[in-house]
Amino acid sequence: MNVAVVILNWNGEKLLRQFLPSVLKYSQEATVYLADNASTDDSIRCVSEEFPTVKIIQNQHNGGYAKGYNDALKTLSEAVFVLLNSDVEVTENWLVPILSAFKNDTNLVAAQPKILDYNNKGSFEYAGAAGGFIDRLGYPFCRGRIFDTLEKDEGQFDDIKEIFWATGACLFIKKRAFQEVGGFDEDFFAHQEEVDLCWRLQQKGGTIKYVGTSHVFHVGGATLDVANPQKTFYNFRNTLLMLTKNVQGLQLWGILFARLLLDGVAGITFLLKGKPKHLLAIIKAHINFYMLFYKIFKKRPLKTIGFKYHFVNSIVLDYFILKKRTFKQL
């Protein structure tokens, strides 16, 4: 099974110097590519001179995560793509368990390893942890991470499990499946695009899995920190885009109304915490969503599938009201 490890980069020279060595050391089964999103620093020169075995794909524009990968992957022929953030340290044998899972399950189209925190290696990391789910209102959460609460890795998720979405920080995906659904939705630019992609993969009958016998360490926030209002903008707007595209039937309108109310509560909470820029980001997210609504609504498939819940109607209720902080408590 031919494998391409593809690292998307934008002005990440420092990260490449830090993390490329582990990728090259432990990825003998794959060809390693750098997909550069029109960087203005010395990333290309750095990789060309210091890591000559890495193949470089130069995108003409910085189209964010979604367009950046769509453009780069068009040129590749490998059967499996591994979309890897530039701030990820991989470990020995990280590819083998997931590639074996693909061989053992022909219906498997995408997967992720265990994502641990690079700065606190005994804990799960925010972006993906031990596999992603969504609740009835479209709020994403993970095994090992609910909102900002991160669990310690005590072996509780050393398994292989079907999940709803796999993280874009380290996403294994079959080329055929990626092409069949048209790749990432470029209207998302960045954030939540992997959840939308995984939802569409399942619309086509594919399966998504977490493989806990493989693990990597992720810094997180290296490109756009969680404290940045722009991240808030993308997260709130893109969740609304994702729901509009994928929720079936009349459920959509009730869910969008509920999200409007809850997003308002979130905005007020940011304001009370002295973070008015995040309130403005939520307002801008909704305005931009309404501007894009018709365009996104036309992308809905003729037939949609329902959610795959993990016993969760409202992760907001469970977490903030019922104080359930770990996945096992849900």
Whether residue 170 contacts residue 71, with contact meaning beta carbons closer than 8 Å, is answered with: no
Q: Whole-angstrom Cα distance, residue 67 to residue 86?
A: 17
Interatomic CA distance for residues 6 and 240, integer angstroms: 28
In this structure, the number of other CB atoms found within 10 A of the CB of residue 154 comes to 8
Measured CA to CA, the distance from residue 221 to residue 95 in angstroms comes to: 24
For tokens 């991470």, name the residue.
145
| pLDDT of 1 | 85
Tens of pLDDT along the chain (330 residues) come to 899 999 999 999 999 999 999 999 999 999 999 999 999 999 999 999 999 999 999 999 999 999 999 999 999 999 999 999 999 999 999 999 999 999 999 999 999 999 999 999 999 999 999 999 999 899 999 999 999 999 999 999 999 999 999 999 999 999 999 999 999 999 999 899 999 999 999 999 999 999 999 999 999 865 556 678 999 999 999 999 999 999 888 889 999 999 999 999 999 999 999 999 999 999 999 999 999 999 999 999 876 655 555 679 999 999 999 999 999 999
Phi, psi of 179 (to 5 degrees): -70, -35
Q: What is the pLDDT of residue 67?
A: 96
Among 3.30.1360.70, 2.60.15.10, 3.90.550.10, 3.90.1300.10, name the CATH number for the domain at 3-218: 3.90.550.10
Separation of alpha carbons 78 and 21, rounded Å: 22
Q: Residue 216, Cβ neighbours under 10 Å: how many? A: 24
Return the domain boundaries, the chain: 3-218
Grouping H, G, I as helix, E, B as strand and the rest as coil, residue 102 is: helix
Q: pTM of the prediction?
A: 0.95
Sheet with 145-146, strands from edge to edge, namely 132-134, 140-142, 145-146, 149-150
Give the pLDDT score at 251: 87
DSSP state of 317: I
pLDDT of 321 reads 96
- The angle at the Cα of 37, spanning 169 to 79, to the nearest 5 degrees, equals 55
Q: What per-residue confidence (pLDDT) applies to 308?
A: 59
Q: Measured between alpha carbons, how far is 219 from 88 in angstroms, rounded to an integer?
A: 6
CA distances 132 to 22, 139, 141, 297, Å, are: 25, 10, 6, 24
Cα 284 from Cα 24, distance rounded (Å):
41
Q: Within 13 Å of residue 128, how many CA atoms lie on the same side as its CB? A: 32
Structural contact between residues 70 and 56, judged by C-beta atoms closer than 8 angstroms: no
Return the H-helix or E-strand segment holding 257.
helix 251-272
Tokens of 299: 């992308």
Give CA separation, 326 vs 145, 322, 329, in Å.
7, 12, 6
Query: What is the rounded distance in angstroms from the CA atom of residue 183 to the CA atom of residue 242?
Result: 14
Beta strands in 207-314 (DSSP E): 207-218
